[in-house]
Chain A
């Protein structure tokens, strides 16, 4: 327990100090890693802990990004309030959206749950494409860069970190709580869980909403980092990203998806700099990693981690 805390303190310190050792370009990449690590961990709350494979998780990343972007463009607040509230708005809107989508989706399990989340996501993608007045349609929303210190790579990195760390801590407490234990039981056997006196759907629904809120935060943080939001963020191909990251890092472990996200993002940067066929190279690497390390990178390093 104490050694666990020491590790956590060490990693947090390193994360805070990290930008001093990186160039602006790599700080920008580090921000992407932060956002996608949070995204993959939130996704893994459902897959790795609850046993629910959402094929539409990009919906909540995208909704978070769009709601933060629209809030940025329309609220007219000053910078301090804007960047204090925008992530909260993103989390709130994603949570409400997940409340509605989850209400229907958790009524089915297995592949039917996946297909429902997929269908709702495509619906939101269509809205993002067609509701041009609000979303900018095909062109998305651009010009989202924060001004001043917050607009510098280092400033924004700390800003993103300040949002990610508490959120990850919250998820960590959650998966080790009785609620998290119930989720793990649900992954193993929902039928048995009913017969210990648990309302299965309610628990799945709440997990879905919490997961979506965190994904929404990740979307907002990434949007302000790149300065844009595009409808492709809501497209079904975008939902594969957290799946790959989680599987790459290891779905059995809490931190696995974060490691998966870091490896994925860095590999993508390195390979896409060398060849335009980088998806091919990525594909081969992922196939090899999954075949050789079916429990993921972290699962490989650490046999049991809960």
Chain B
């Protein structure tokens, strides 16, 4: 299986996951083309988080196959996925609170350069310029010397993005990138991610609750409902879909989850 030789940067085929009596995911497919900004939406309990955690290697699927960049990555550990070029951010922002903003990015750059086993070199001088460039990109350049925990929540999100970018990902997975933000901050935040991803040629998959955010940036949408793919398509197709409207209006859905508009 040759890497990099594929129409899809991410190809998920028939992923199923069961927790005891709960079928959290049932034969979920998803295809992400290079450069896509792919949203996963669905009501609470639809299986978004389970799906996301399976993609990022935290959970192992019972069935199915995940290919990334033309390579079978099913069941690979998170650090391996990251090294292959799959970055992620978390719903509840995870940065290194006790370290400076610069160090936060430096540690990711050291990891990317496979330097974490170096015990004799001083870390403080490594990748400083590259780290500052990344901070510039996310708009944190002026704050590089601050301790991460003193940053505002929105700035911590930016920092987490810079950390993820340090691994030079081909694909960025963002779990609720605007969670915990005020409504007016959300659009600006996702647009920053969108802009940076386009500049760097990174494909993105993100889960999101806020439909305004989704429709502002998504180039494609997968709708999950009760662990199945309810619909896949372009934003306007999904918005027009009767089944999706039913689900979001809270009416009982009788359909067996046939993917509506396929295209």
In the assembly, what is the distance between CA of A4 and CA of B88, in Å? 38
Taking the complex as formed, is A192 at the interface, i.e. its CB lies under 8 A from any CB of chain B? yes
A residues sitting closer than 8 Å to B (CB atoms) are 173-174, 176-182, 184-185, 187-189, 191-200, 203, 206
Taking the complex as formed, is B106 at the interface, i.e. its CB lies under 8 A from any CB of chain A? yes
B94 touches A182 (CB 8 A): no
In the assembly, what is the distance between CA of A206 and CA of B119, in Å? 11
Pick the interface stretch among B10-18, B34-42, B96-104: B96-104
Given contacts A189-B96, A197-B82, A200-B79, contact A179 B111 (CB under 8 A): no
Contact residues in A for B90 (Cβ distance below 8 Å): 191-192
B residues sitting closer than 8 Å to A (CB atoms) are 56, 77-79, 82-83, 87-88, 90, 94-99, 103-104, 106-108, 110-112, 115-124, 126, 163-164, 166-167
Contact residues in A for B56 (Cβ distance below 8 Å): 195
In the assembly, what is the distance between CA of A203 and CA of B115, in Å? 12
A198 touches B117 (CB 8 A): no
- Residue ID in chain A nearest B127 by CB atoms: A178
Nearest Cβ distance between residue A102 and chain B, in whole angstroms? 16
Partner of B118, one of A177, A191, A198: A177
A192 touches B79 (CB 8 A): no
Partner of B111, one of A177, A187, A189, A197: A197
Nearest Cβ distance between residue A159 and chain B, in whole angstroms? 26
Give the interface centre of B56, B97, B117 by most chain A CB atoms within 10 Å.
B117
- 20 A–B contact pairs at CB < 8 A? A173-B119, A174-B119, A176-B123, A178-B118, A178-B121, A179-B119, A180-B119, A182-B111, A182-B116, A184-B103, A188-B95, A191-B94, A192-B96, A192-B163, A195-B78, A195-B164, A196-B107, A196-B167, A197-B82, A200-B79
A192 touches B123 (CB 8 A): no
Give the interface centre of A174, A185, A187, A206 by most chain B CB atoms within 10 Å.
A185
Given contacts A182-B107, A182-B110, A194-B82, contact A177 B98 (CB under 8 A): no
Q: Is the interface of A mostly helix, strand, loop or mixed?
A: helix
Contact residues in A for B164 (Cβ distance below 8 Å): 195
Other A-B pairs, 20, CB within 8 Å; known A177-B120, A188-B96, A200-B79: A173-B119, A173-B120, A173-B122, A176-B122, A176-B123, A177-B119, A179-B119, A181-B99, A185-B96, A185-B104, A192-B94, A193-B107, A194-B78, A195-B56, A195-B82, A196-B163, A196-B167, A197-B79, A197-B111, A198-B116
A180 touches B123 (CB 8 A): yes
Partner of B87, one of A174, A195, A206: A195
Nearest Cβ distance between residue A250 and chain B, in whole angstroms? 14
A185 touches B79 (CB 8 A): no
- Residue ID in chain B nearest A176 by CB atoms: B122
In the assembly, what is the distance between CA of A64 and CA of B247, in Å? 66
- Residue ID in chain A nearest B116 by CB atoms: A182
Partner of A196, one of B98, B111, B118: B111
Contact residues in B for A181 (Cβ distance below 8 Å): 99, 103, 106-107, 110, 123
Contact residues in B for A195 (Cβ distance below 8 Å): 56, 78-79, 82, 87-88, 164
Nearest Cβ distance between residue B135 and chain A, in whole angstroms? 16
Nearest Cβ distance between residue B172 and chain A, in whole angstroms? 11
B82 touches A179 (CB 8 A): no
In the assembly, what is the distance between CA of A199 and CA of B80, in Å? 8
- Residue ID in chain B nearest A181 by CB atoms: B123
Contact residues in A for B122 (Cβ distance below 8 Å): 173, 176-177
In the assembly, what is the distance between CA of A181 and CA of B106, in Å? 9
Contact residues in B for A188 (Cβ distance below 8 Å): 95-99
Contact residues in B for A177 (Cβ distance below 8 Å): 118-123
Give the interface centre of B103, B116, B123, B126 by most chain A CB atoms within 10 Å.
B116
In the assembly, what is the distance between CA of A72 and CA of B160, in Å? 54
B99 touches A197 (CB 8 A): no
Nearest Cβ distance between residue A91 and chain B, in whole angstroms? 16
In the assembly, what is the distance between CA of A206 and CA of B116, in Å? 12
Contact residues in A for B163 (Cβ distance below 8 Å): 192, 196
Nearest Cβ distance between residue B117 and chain A, in whole angstroms? 6
A189 touches B115 (CB 8 A): no
For the complex of A and B, the 3 pairs showing the least CB-CB separation, nearest first, are: A197-B82, A188-B96, A194-B78
Nearest Cβ distance between residue A189 and chain B, in whole angstroms? 5
- Residue ID in chain A nearest B110 by CB atoms: A178
B82 touches A196 (CB 8 A): yes
Nearest Cβ distance between residue B30 and chain A, in whole angstroms? 20
Given contacts A188-B99, A192-B95, contact A179 B117 (CB under 8 A): yes
In the assembly, what is the distance between CA of A200 and CA of B97, in Å? 18
Nearest Cβ distance between residue B116 and chain A, in whole angstroms? 4
Contact residues in A for B126 (Cβ distance below 8 Å): 178
Nearest Cβ distance between residue B155 and chain A, in whole angstroms? 16
